[in-house]
Amino acid sequence: MSTPDLKELSSELKQMLGLKGEPIAVKLVAKEDPDPVPDEPSGRLRYCQLLMEAKKGRSLSLTAKNISCPAAASALGFLPLPEKIASGGMLKALGLFASNEAAAKTMREMPRLELGKYRAVAVAPLETASFRPDVVVIEATPEQVMWINLASLHRSGGRLEFSSAVFQACCIDVTVIPYVAKKVNVSLGCYGCRESTDIADEECLIGIPFQRLPEIVGALRELSKKAIPTARRKPIYTALGKGGPS
């Protein structure tokens, strides 16, 4: 099987959907993986901030030593989850949950990567990534995310189900879940990424297993022939202003 052209995939995604930011390539680097990873940032960053930097054009990596969010460090298998988060106390104090018990239940049900299996997470703009991604993360409007999801059903049909706790959106919802479950997942965002990054109020996130990306881009080509431009022209809505019902 030929290796997909990352630059071409990225270019088509941006052109067909009208994306403002770069699609982001993400690689979870196992301890036994000898390949080099991009440079680490000069200071500590949250994982959601790492994605923000990649969206702007930078190639970087985080490890257990320089990831500043303990919840993300646990999600990526770098470090155990601190008790103050696992118990629900910290999330209750932030005002996110009504009780420690509700917060603790949420944290118990979070899917996480195996502790100690990965030495780094690498990110880069998809078009310039020097590595084969595991997941591609896109920040986009709901309308753009809608077309990606329809493209994922273009061949098979059916219905989609998304998983989120509206917490750990970047690290779990659009990275761990697509990587482990091998399925597209959508997230509305969360307290952490909306406080710590430049994600716009009107944007959400989607994580795509890389092995599915060529298929999805191919389906977007088909949707771009008729469905996308027609829907964006809003012909039926426009007709309301030309003598239709008020």
Please state the rounded mean pLDDT for residues 123-149. Answer: 98
pLDDT exceeding 90 applies to what percent of the chain? Answer: 96
Contact indicator for 41, 53 with CB cutoff of 8 Å:
yes
Residue that is written with structure tokens 């990526």 in the block: 76
Count of beta carbons in the 10 Å neighbourhood of residue 98:
9
Q: b/e map of 150-166 (b: 16 or more CB within 10 Å)?
A: bbbebeeeeeeeeebbe
What is the average pLDDT value for the chain, to the nearest integer?
Answer: 96
Name 28's bridge partners: 121
pLDDT reported for residue 4: 84
What is the band of 61 on the pLDDT scale with cuts at 50, 70, 90? very high
pLDDT beyond 60 at 246: no
Query: Closest by alpha carbon to 21, among 66, 51, 42, 63?
Result: 51
Q: Which amino acid type is present at position 13?
A: L
CB-CB contact of 131 with 34 (8 Å):
no
Phi, psi of 85 (to 5 degrees): -90, -45
**C-beta of residue 190 within 8 angstroms of C-beta of residue 168:** yes
* High-pLDDT (> 70) share of the chain, %: 97
pLDDT score at 242: 74
**For residue 3, what are the contacts with CB-CB under 8 A and spacing of at least 6?**
132
pTM of the model: 0.95
Q: How far is CA 142 from CA 151, 206, 236, 245, in A?
A: 14, 10, 20, 28
What's residue 53's pLDDT? Answer: 97
pLDDT tens profile 204-240: 999 999 999 999 999 999 999 999 999 999 999 999 9
For 163-175, write each residue's pLDDT tens digit. Answer: 999 999 999 999 9
pLDDT number for residue 1: 42
* CA separation for the pair 71, 68 (Å, rounded): 9
Mean pLDDT score, 151-162: 97
DSSP 69-85: -HHHHHHTTSSPPPHHH
**pLDDT at residue 245 greater than cutoff 80:** no
Tell me the CA distances in angstroms from 49 to 19, 68, 123, 245, one per residue in order.
Answer: 19, 10, 11, 47
Domain boundaries, the chain: 6-240
> In the numeric block, which tokens belong to residue 21?
């930011």
Model pLDDT for residues 91-125, shown as the tens digit of each residue = 999 999 999 999 999 999 999 999 999 999 999 99
Angle at 175 between CA 209 and CA 12, to 5 degrees: 45
Q: Which residue has the higher pLDDT, 244 or 29?
A: 29
Confidence of residue 241 (pLDDT cuts 50, 70, 90): confident
